[in-house]
Amino acid sequence: MSEQKPDNAPKNKLQSKHLKRILITALIVAWGFDFLFWKRPLGINFPIFVLALLIGGLIMAYSEKVLPSRLSLLLILPILFFTSMTAVRLEPFTTFLNVSITLFLLAILAASFVGGRWPWYGIPDYFVRLILLFVDAFISLPEAWINQPNTEEQEADEGRNLQPIFAWLRGLLIALPVVLFFSALLSSADPIFARAITDFFDLFDLEDLAQYFFRGIYIIFLAYILAGLYLFAFYKSKKEKLVADGNGRKPSFLGFTEGSIVLGSVDLLFGAFVAIQFRYFFGGQANITNAGYTFAEYARRGFGELITVAVFSLLLFLLLNAITKRQSGSQRGWFSTLSILLVVLVGVMLVSAFQRLYLYEQVFGFTRLRTYSHVFMIWLGILLLAVVLLELMRRPRFFVLATLLASIGFSTTLNALNVDGFIARQNINRARLGESLDIPYLASLSTDAVPVLRNEFVVALNNGGNPQEVADDIGGAWACHAALHRDYDYERPWQGFHFSHLFAQTHWMSYGYVIEGQGLGTQLDEVNDWSQWSVTVNGEDVPCVDGYYFYR
């Protein structure tokens, strides 16, 4: 008689129907990670890995007869978008956001795979679920292995399935010394055959055994973690107990009076600031001049501080909303009024910051940080509007969801905008209006800017109402950019293929010869030290590299 497990065994044990399949899938994905990323630059390898991770997980879920939540499957759409854009955009901050959001959404997908309650997560819920996911990534596999049903019939079936594998292993072990013996004799008989044998063993690069050992260890470790994540997603993501209580509000401990005083005090301060904005900044140049400032001095400062005030004001509101007691309808009404007033005042300050930054850009040009700030302010304003609507609807739980969606919107906008291309276009437009073109800064941008440089160069070359100097400046900037990127001649393995490099190389092959000595008044001077490279534009020597751009 085979020993059966008792019927009253705990039902909350982690038991996988096909644990070995999950292990094999995790091992394949982990090996794929090594194959795609070991000594490889970021490119098409990242979307391939994420796609393999998702496909492997969905196939295993089907094999385990686990039905994912439709709300959780919605996360796959932004995951696919952001992971794909890592092979399209090379601008550093955009790439950082693409990778970070992809990994974060993958974690949320695993944490809420079956339950699908991620839209209702608050900040504590994200913290708790991600901590659980991290911990269970290490313990889920041993737990599932221990809880595997182990009847005599199953052991017999597994033994029969493994018999062919053991037979192959025994045959290989017996054949190995025999083959080595005859190989040694044949190598002594024929030097050409000996060279072929030597070349064959060189393929394994035995001098790098330590490296292979390390890679093998981390592949096994990564497979262990991935198997744990798969198991958590399949069997521990269904029961999502949220931190908040049943009425949708977190336990509060700050009195209504204290919370209202804090909100009211900040409202008074912000109200005084906004009043000054309407009198001076929005009121016209004459009022500012009378106060002893020029309009340029007043307008071009403070946008960074105003953005910081807006962010901390939003955090203050979320904190007070979470911890302040509102025990009656009148208290809830007063708190909502003070909160909405705070958001409205912050919105006015955002408008002021937006205009200040715009005026600053008109004088000093566009940079990455200023472009990030512009896009960030737009999405922060949208988030503030969403906060007001949610407060009016008494739906505070969705504040965090609104923040997540705004973050996704911000990152999507940067991808669609093409930050480096946008900067190149705007600065060239300023040059057409008579402003100077910062050639070293354009040369410092990523290859995302090359399609714009090409288009603007063609327009300026055809002299569509532009001074000839503009074409020379663009040609000089592009010549420096190409030189710093080795004429876009990238020798990369296919795993590091990147569309931004492909587009840059294609455009340079089409128009690079025009810049390299076709009478545009540009001449590149390449010396041994690349930091000393310069370009001659209309008789003026302009450096290709300016260390200052690292801080802009």
Q: pLDDT tens digits, residue range 503-548?
A: 998 888 877 666 665 444 455 555 556 666 777 776 777 778 775 4
- Compute CA 431 distance to the chain's CA centroid, rounded to the nearest angstrom: 33
- For residues 395 and 538, membership in a common domain is answered with no
Given 416, 431, 454, the domain boundary residue is: 416
Comparing 432 with 511, the larger pLDDT belongs to 432
Asked, for residue 176, whether it belongs to a domain, the answer is: no
Closest CA to 104 of 114, 96, 93: 96
Q: How many structural domains does the chain have?
A: 3
CA dihedral 174, 176, 179, 183 (to 10 degrees): -150
Per-residue confidence (pLDDT) for residue 47, from 0 to 100 = 97
Per-residue confidence (pLDDT) for residue 114, from 0 to 100 = 92
Per DSSP, 504 falls in state H
Is the pLDDT at 452 greater than 90? The verdict is yes
Outline where 365-398 has alpha helix (H). Answer: 368-392
The number of beta carbons lying within 10 Å of the beta carbon of residue 177 is 9
- Compute CA 364 distance to the chain's CA centroid, rounded to the nearest angstrom: 29
Q: Two tokens at 104? A: 């974060």
The answer to whether the CB of 250 falls within 8 A of the CB of 244 is yes
Closest CA to 54 of 3, 117, 109: 109
Asked, for residue 163, whether it belongs to a domain, the answer is: no
What are 79-96's pLDDT values in tens digits? 999 999 999 999 999 999
The number of beta carbons lying within 10 Å of the beta carbon of residue 179 is 11
- For residues 437 and 412, membership in a common domain is answered with no
The answer to whether the CB of 25 falls within 8 A of the CB of 56 is yes
Comparing 327 with 398, the larger pLDDT belongs to 398
Asked, for residue 185, whether it belongs to a domain, the answer is: no
- Compute CA 99 distance to the chain's CA centroid, rounded to the nearest angstrom: 3
- Compute CA 274 distance to the chain's CA centroid, rounded to the nearest angstrom: 36
Label residue 388 by pLDDT band (50, 70, 90): confident
- For residues 221 and 273, membership in a common domain is answered with no
Given 416, 440, 466, the domain boundary residue is: 416
H or E stretch at 535: strand 534-537
Calculate ∠ Cα 365-370-375, nearest 5°. Answer: 125
Q: Two tokens at 360? A: 């600053």
Quote the CA–CA distance of 459 and 461 in Å, as a whole number: 5
What are 119-163's pLDDT values in tens digits? 998 888 888 899 999 998 888 888 888 877 665 455 555 555 556
Look at the block and give the residue holding tokens 């909303």.
321
- For residues 410 and 459, membership in a common domain is answered with no
Angstrom distances, CA of residue 34 to CA of 27, 103, 179, 217: 11, 17, 31, 11
- Compute CA 257 distance to the chain's CA centroid, rounded to the nearest angstrom: 42
Quote the CA–CA distance of 33 and 50 in Å, as a whole number: 9
- For residues 304 and 260, membership in a common domain is answered with yes
Is the pLDDT at 57 greater than 90? The verdict is yes
Closest CA to 90 of 328, 432, 368: 368
The answer to whether the CB of 107 falls within 8 A of the CB of 232 is no
- For residues 233 and 320, membership in a common domain is answered with no
The β-bridge partners of 542 are 535
Least confident of 37-41, 245-249, 314-318, 336-340: 245-249
- For residues 409 and 508, membership in a common domain is answered with no
Asked, for residue 250, whether it belongs to a domain, the answer is: no
Asked, for residue 249, whether it belongs to a domain, the answer is: no
Is the pLDDT at 484 greater than 50? The verdict is yes
Label residue 393 by pLDDT band (50, 70, 90): confident
H or E stretch at 541: strand 540-543
The number of beta carbons lying within 10 Å of the beta carbon of residue 73 is 13
- For residues 497 and 411, membership in a common domain is answered with no
Q: Two tokens at 314? A: 């939003």
The answer to whether the CB of 52 falls within 8 A of the CB of 27 is no
- Residue 522 phi/psi, 5-degree rounding, is -120, 140
- For residues 79 and 136, membership in a common domain is answered with yes
* Strand order across the beta sheet in which 540-543 lies: 522-525, 534-537, 540-543
Angstrom distances, CA of residue 113 to CA of 58, 101, 110, 226: 10, 17, 5, 15
- Compute CA 452 distance to the chain's CA centroid, rounded to the nearest angstrom: 24
- For residues 377 and 522, membership in a common domain is answered with no
Average pLDDT value over all residues in the chain? 81
Per-residue confidence (pLDDT) for residue 54, from 0 to 100 = 96
- For residues 227 and 297, membership in a common domain is answered with no
The answer to whether the CB of 544 falls within 8 A of the CB of 439 is yes
Asked, for residue 174, whether it belongs to a domain, the answer is: no
- For residues 444 and 356, membership in a common domain is answered with no
Residue 218: give the domain boundaries.
Answer: 11-155+204-243
Asked, for residue 295, whether it belongs to a domain, the answer is: yes
Asked, for residue 317, whether it belongs to a domain, the answer is: yes
Percent of the chain with pLDDT over 70: 80
Given 189, 218, 243, the domain boundary residue is: 243
